[in-house]
Amino acid sequence: MSDTPGPPPSGGAGPSSTRKEPPSGSAGPLTTRTSPRRGAHPLARFLVRRVLLAVLMAWGITLVTFVLTNLVPGDPVAANLGQRALGDPAIVAQWRAEHGLDQPLWRQYLLHLQGLLQGDLGTSQQSHRPVSQDLAEFVPATLELAGAAILVSLVLGVAFGVVAALRRDRLSDHALRVLSLIGISVPTFWLALVAFYVFFYRLQLTPGSGRVDAALGLAPAVTGMQTVDALLAGRWDIFSSAVAHLVTPALVLALYTIGLLTRFTRSAVLEVLGQDYVRAARAKGLPGRVVLFRYVLRSALVPIITVAGLAFGSLLSGTVLVEAIFAWPGIGQYAYKSATTLDLPAVMGVGLVVGVVYLVINLVVDVLYGVIDPRVRLQ
Amino acid sequence: MATRSQTAAVLLAGALALAACGSGGTPQAPAASGSKTLVIDTSFDLKTADPGRTYEPTGLIVGKAVYETLLTFDGADVTKPVPALAESYELSEDGKTLTLKLKQGATFADGAPVTADDVVFSLTRVRDMKGTPSFLLDGVEVAKTDDSTITLTSQAPNPALPFILPNPALGIINSKLAQQHGATTDAQDKAEQYLNSSSAGSGPYQIESFNVSSQVTLKANPKYYGPKPAYERVVIRNVEAATQKLNVSRGDSQIALNLSGDQVTGMPATLQVKKTASANVIFLLANQDSAISGTTPNAKFVEAVRKGVDYAGLLELAGEGSTLAPGVIPSQILGALPADQAPARDLEGAKAALAESGLSNPTVKLEYPSELTVNGLSFQPLAERIQANLKEVGITVDLQPAPVTTALDNYRNGKEEMGLWYWGPDYPDPSDYLVFLPGKTVGLRAGWKEGSNKELEEAGEKAAAAIGDEAREAAYADVQNKLNAEGPFIPLLQPSQNIVTAASVTGLEYHPVWTVDIADLGVK
């Protein structure tokens, strides 16, 4: 199983045998070949269908998050009021009314939906602020971290996978396969603790907790991403501090996806390398670089993109632990705190954001399929 | 074949990517000490910076720095309230009226003077907003007699009031400024958002930025009328205990507040480690409601548990700096039982009591919050140790751990057969511990209804009305001795609050109400 990914890369016995050439670099021939049958542009039709489906899924997410959060045992009142205040029924009743918990469940859901349509995610019980405002503050920090991690994993994972495939069964291949095995099997929270201990405490190569040095303070918020905001403000000291703080958590977070991508890329590239058109291209005397990037990688990309999309999801769940250990103020920490204090609106808000991110990623992956592999649109 | 050059190219690309990432990792110079920034790492328990709604440990640290109260405590001594915004106070002989004289010359951060009207508004707001700390002023009428005199009147004798007033929740806010931003003295109050981003107080610090789950930044109040604090900027960060230890060891922070006894052993000699018994008392409860249990209401059973627990072993588990709790009132507070009355194990006595109880090989359920730690001490090993202790007596304990929010539900509804919990003082006065009596908040959680123990209830009423330190000490000692003899609670210990600071930080004292007074800290 481990060496053959789910979706078969192009070039199996199927449709591609009817093609003489692999998909070429330009988009031109693709669109002509998949010329519309019913007037509308096929890509547009494809997009509309996917977006509609995504909206339906988003509604499903609201229902699931609402039901799940309300199934949690324990009374939010107990988690949010002090022990003495709990003894006063007037305070308890007022608190429940303030947070709409005195309404029947179905009504709470309808009110929740109505709020969502107006862009209102409710008010957090812990911060006493609109959840949307909280999320606007925490999501950029996580995006910065997860974005850096996915970038690193795409670059390294694909590069490692290609190297391993090209040098199959040699020492570098074995070394990379061991590395990817470690990446996949080591638990993230453990790795985070060890990395923090080794690089910060022992070797003093990286800085401590947080996003920038406490003495510097944060750059004025524009995007909420420290690296970008520091550049916008022209503060090189904050920028370098922010980058230095980003390195270890991003690499820790990326290690799993690097391992995953290395394995999938390796097997996808190996499969394509054996194809006739690759051999033919080489026989024609095309330079190795052209063969690799235009012929091999392009065909191998479909399974890689599938895995990358899935990997982004696991990255988001990994942030909860990594953020806790590196004191990174993102949605992971927010979600953890909300869950432990039964802050239901905040929990639902985080659930919704993560769900929507998944939907968007899946949508992007689907669209990319269409761009890379015309057969997807033909169906 | 071209594969060799391809491989080289890809390897090079990978190496470049790595190098690009690596170059960002160049070590930062440690925070410049000239800028006088103090970094405090703590596990956040924080909801708000509005003093009228503050009740969580981290919030009290912030509240203490930003707002001033009428009275306060000197250092860590909580047995004697001292002047703050009020220069003097006097409690009437019947204990019902507290008269306070305001200090002249105190100003808010915007330069406005602190007036009697601000005091009346602030205290009335806390009481009537029905927030978490409202109970502090339950039944207390606040009035201004003249421009510099405030009277607080209670229906029943309230000798605890001078001990309640130092609570940062009762910080005095600039009423004009707060009212412009929606402050009212009822549940309609809308000033919280404003108070979370700016400070309307007269304290030595102002809020620079405030975030309930990651970081709070304070800056020195330039208009503070008192002595200037030593640190210009103070950053309070939300950091896990394990990470706190590494940060403070490497100078990334100067203070770590939440380390356990294990974590502070073997700290580098360059750091100061302060171990002080906290004011949190961990106790066992045995439900007295026969509908909940057929075993625990048996007085001889409770005696067997009380004698069967290996207190010395638990103390060792809790670590250095912890102390045994002779009664429910912790050692810092007036009325605490002397340390030589601390409980000790009496295994034979326990077995004898169990034999007398008429129960044979009883099995009980012990519920506790599994992930809760008090001052770094986790409840899980404590519960396991108690289970082992009682096994030797002949009592089988069935451990029932649950997440704190779930466990709290059963606890506060009085549904636990046996429970392992703690009580931290709401204010450092023994009257806060009358909640353990029959029919009161914690008494009811142990299924102990009003009228279950008339003698004890009368002793409680007497203690509540006693005036004068000596009379109060005697009355509360009496209540606790009776509670230990006949009550369903078994006080165990006060875990150590371990605070680690950099060598440069001076003047740190653990305070049972607000943990740390940042303005008291100095720099060496």
Q: What was the pLDDT predicted at B364? A: 96
- Per-residue DSSP letter, A123: B
Interface A:B, Cβ pairs < 8 A: 211
Q: Is the pLDDT of residue A28 over 70?
A: no
The lowest-confidence range among A90-99, A367-376, B53-62 is A367-376
CA-based torsion, B497, B502, B503, B507: positive or negative: negative
Question: Looking at residues A157-163, what average pLDDT do you find?
Answer: 92
Considering only CB atoms, which chain B residues are within 8 Å of A324? Answer: 240
* Bridging pattern class, strands B97-102 and B77-83: unpaired
Q: Do B187 and A126 touch (CB under 8 A)?
A: no
* CA separation for the pair A272, A293 (Å, rounded): 12
Helix, strand, coil % over all residues of chain A, rounded to 5: 70, 0, 25
Residue B108: which of B155, B54, B172 has the closest Cα? B172
Angle of helix A171-185 versus helix A131-166 axis, rounded to 10: 160
Q: Is the Cβ pair A128, B47 closer than 8 Å?
A: yes
pLDDT at A78 over 90: no
Angstroms from B334 CA to nearest CA on chain A = 21
Give which of B320, B312, B323 is closest to B264, Cα–Cα: B320
Q: Does A213 touch chain B (CB under 8 A)?
A: yes
Cβ distance B415 to B289 under 8 Å? no
The structural domains of chain B, with segments of one domain joined by +, span 37-275+498-523, 281-494
Residue B37 with chain A: CB contacts under 8 Å: 214-215
pTM score, whole prediction? 0.83
Helix A344-372 vs helix A331-340: angle between axes, to the nearest 10 degrees? 140
- Res. A20 pLDDT band, cuts 50 70 90: very low
CB A74 to CB B405 under 8 A?
yes
Which residues of chain A from 61 to 120 reach within 8 Å of chain B, CB to CB?
Answer: 73-76, 78-88, 90-91, 94
Measured in angstroms, the CA of A162 and the nearest CA of chain B are apart by: 8
Distance from CA of A5 to the nearest CA of B (A): 23
Question: Do the Cβ atoms of A333 and B252 come within 8 Å?
Answer: no
Q: How, if at all, do strands B71-74 and B86-91 pair?
A: unpaired
Percentages helix, strand, coil for chain B (3-state, rounded to 5) are 35, 25, 40
Please enumerate in sequence order all residues whose Cβ is within 8 A of that of A134, keeping only pairs 6 or more positions apart, or say none: A124, A127, A334, A346, A349
pLDDT at B235: 95
Determine which of B5, B11, B21 to mutate to test the interface with A (most A C-beta atoms within 10 Å). B21
Report the alpha-carbon distance of residue B151 to residue B99 in Å, rounded.
5
Using DSSP, state whether B319 is helix, strand or coil: coil
Helices and strands per DSSP (H, E), number in chain B: 16, 23
Q: Is the pLDDT of residue A365 over 90?
A: no
pLDDT at position B187 is 84
Instruction: Choose among B17, B47, B209: nearest Cβ to A126.
Output: B47
Q: Does A132 touch chain B (CB under 8 A)?
A: no
Residue B410 has a CB neighbour count (10 Å cut-off) of 18
CA distance A291 to A279: 9
Q: What is the DSSP letter of B250?
A: T
Where residue A38 falls among pLDDT bands split at 50, 70, 90?
Answer: low
- pLDDT, mean of residues A335-343: 83
Q: How far is A75 from chain B (nearest CA, A)?
A: 7
Residue B3's pLDDT is what?
A: 43
Between A217 and B358, whose confidence is greater? B358
**A129: three-class secondary structure by DSSP:** coil
pLDDT given for residue A11 in this prediction:
38
Rounded distance between C-alpha atoms, residue B248 and residue B271, angstroms: 8
Whether B17 and A287 lie within 8 Å, measured CB to CB: no
Selected residue of A92, A95, A171, A209 to mutate for chain B interface (largest B Cβ count, 10 A): A209
Is the per-residue pLDDT at A95 higher than 90? no
Q: What is the mean pLDDT of the segment spanning A298-318?
A: 83
CB-CB contact of A62 with A114 (8 Å): no
Q: For residue B412, how many C-alpha atoms fall within 13 Å in the half-sphere facing its CB?
A: 21
Q: What pLDDT does B220 receive?
A: 95
| Partner B contacted by A59 (CB < 8 A) | no
Note the pLDDT of residue B383. Answer: 96
Q: How far is B361 from chain A (nearest CA, A)?
A: 32
Contact A128/B48, CB-based, under 8 Å? yes
Whether residue B14 and residue A163 make contact (CB cut-off 8 A), yes or no, is yes
Name beta bridge partners: B419: B285, B367
Contacts of B192 in chain A (CB under 8 A): 128
Inspect the interface and report whether the beta carbons of A83 and B13 lie closer than 8 Å.
Answer: no
What domains lie within chain A, and their CATH numbers?
58-117 (no CATH), 139-377 (1.10.3720.10)
Interface contact A210-B37, CB threshold 8 A: no
Helices (H), B278-420: 299-308, 311-318, 347-357, 379-393, 404-412
β-bridge mates for residue B367, sequence order: B400, B419
Task: Give contacts of A 247-306 with B, CB under 8 A.
Answer: 247-248, 250-251, 282, 287-289, 291-292
Instruction: For residue B120, give the amino acid letter.
Output: V
Give the distance, in angstroms, between the CA of residue A363 and the centroid of all CA atoms in the same chain: 13
Task: Compute the nearest-CA separation of B473 from chain A (Å).
Answer: 24
ipTM: 0.75
A73 contacts in B (CB within 8 Å)? 406, 409
pLDDT in tens, A166-190: 888 999 999 999 999 998 899 888 8
Query: How many Å apart are CA A161 and CA A155, to the nearest integer?
Result: 10
Class of domain B281-494: alpha beta
Q: Does A189 touch chain B (CB under 8 A)?
A: no
A339/B contact by beta carbon, under 8 A: no
CA torsion through residues B63, A126, A252, A362, sign: negative
Q: β-strands B255-259, B496-502: how paired?
A: antiparallel
Q: B37-275+498-523, what's its fold?
A: D-Maltodextrin-Binding Protein; domain 2 (3.40.190)
- Over residues A204-208, mean pLDDT: 87
What is the rounded distance in angstroms from the CA atom of residue B492 to the CA atom of residue B421?
A: 10
What is the full per-residue pLDDT of chain B (524 aa) written as tens digits? 344 444 444 443 444 344 334 333 333 334 444 458 999 999 988 889 999 999 889 999 999 999 999 999 998 899 999 999 999 999 999 999 999 999 999 999 999 999 999 999 999 999 998 888 999 999 999 999 999 999 999 999 999 999 999 999 999 999 999 999 999 998 888 899 899 988 899 999 999 999 888 899 999 999 999 999 999 999 999 998 888 999 999 999 999 999 988 889 888 889 999 999 999 999 999 999 999 999 999 999 999 999 999 999 999 999 889 999 999 999 999 999 999 999 999 999 999 999 999 999 999 999 999 888 888 889 999 999 999 999 999 999 999 999 887 888 889 889 999 999 999 998 999 999 999 999 998 999 999 999 999 999 999 999 999 998 999 999 999 999 999 999 999 999 999 999 999 999 999 999 999 999 999 999 98
Q: What is the pLDDT of residue B35?
A: 57
pLDDT of residue A105: 84
